[in-house]
Amino acid sequence: HCRTTLRWFELIPVVSFLLQRGRCRTCGAAISAQYPITEALCGMIFVFVPARLYSFYFGIPAENFYFLSAVWVAAFTALLLMSLIDLRLSIIPDEINVFLSVMGVLVLSSLKPGLSLAYGSFLRGYALLFYFPNTMWVNRLLGALSALVFFGCIIFITRGRGMGMGDMKLAFALGLLFGWPDIVLVAAMSFITGSVFGVYSILAGKKTMKSAVPFGPFLALGAAIIFFGGYELVRFYFTLFIA
């Protein structure tokens, strides 16, 4: 607002915002809450993503753990960046989709051939209910192609009004990253959370039935839900059928 170059102590993530009570020290203009929220989310990614991998893949070699942690941290940081861009500009850059696809290939390269598909899934043993009898590579390709076809059908049926090409490309990249059947639940959770947000926005008078809502952030949220709680979510679902 006042074009003042910030000092180092004004740039400490989250802390500076809190100490300055959300305002510029020079002119007193309000600072958007987007900044501390983004900084906090980045910090949480660097802490909780490796923690989840450690608990989920307990016992894997240290070099695999460090490699997977770096790849998944990079992937979720990219998803956070994509969400911010989509919320502000309503576009999903192709560069981010390509980057996520590469991260998916790197995750796949760290999984040893011959492993059960349940090992590479965040649904663990429940993934075998949707078992596709082939290699890990085919599993990832199936996840990517199924997402591509599903979102492509939505675009075709709605003539581009219900979904954008960027969303389809992002779904393809997430399919490579998560594989089959995880991508099915990623998509399902994205539609569920998106629907909840849409209904709330309409009831609150912030949106109408014809309003456009960026869908990329909900795909990112769906990916986070399955990464951090996919197995627990499916297990809870099946316990509902136990008498």
Enter the pTM of the model: 0.89
User: Which among 106, 187, 176 has a CA at the least distance from the CA of 141?
Assistant: 176
Contact between 182 and 123 under an 8 Å Cβ cutoff? The reply is yes
Tokens describing residue 224: 């986070």
Contact between 73 and 62 under an 8 Å Cβ cutoff? The reply is no
Q: What is the mean pLDDT of the chain?
A: 88
User: Which among 234, 176, 220, 191 has a CA at the least distance from the CA of 85?
Assistant: 220
Q: Which residues contact 70 (CB under 8 A, 6 or more apart)?
A: none
pLDDT at 135 > cutoff 90 = no
pLDDT at 16 > cutoff 80 = yes
pLDDT tens across 165-202, in order?
999 999 999 999 999 889 999 999 999 999 999 888 88
Mean local confidence (pLDDT), 148-152: 93
Mean local confidence (pLDDT), 20-43: 92
Query: What percent of the chain stands above pLDDT 90?
Result: 56
Which is more confident, 153 or 209? 153
Q: How confident is the model at residue 117 (pLDDT cuts 50, 70, 90)?
A: low
What local confidence, expressed as pLDDT, does residue 14 receive? 92
The conformation of residue 23, written as its DSSP 8-state character, comes to B
Contact between 111 and 176 under an 8 Å Cβ cutoff? The reply is no
pLDDT tens across 52-104, in order?
988 877 556 677 888 889 999 999 999 999 999 999 999 999 999 999 999 99
Cis omega (within 30 of 0) for bond into 181: yes
Q: How confident is the model at residue 162 (pLDDT cuts 50, 70, 90)?
A: confident
Task: For residue 49, give the H/E element and its range.
Answer: helix 34-56
First CA to last CA distance, the chain? 62
Q: Which residues contact 65 (CB under 8 A, 6 or more apart)?
A: 50, 53, 54, 57
Buried b (16+ CB within 10 A) or exposed e, 193-202: bbeebeeeee
The DSSP-derived string for 79-147 is HHHHHHHHHHHS---HHHHHHHHHHHHHHHHHSPTT--TTTT-TTGGGGGGG---S-HHHHHHHHHHHH
pLDDT tens across 219-242, in order?
999 999 999 999 999 999 988 887
Contact between 97 and 169 under an 8 Å Cβ cutoff? The reply is yes
What local confidence, expressed as pLDDT, does residue 82 receive? 96
What local confidence, expressed as pLDDT, does residue 194 receive? 92
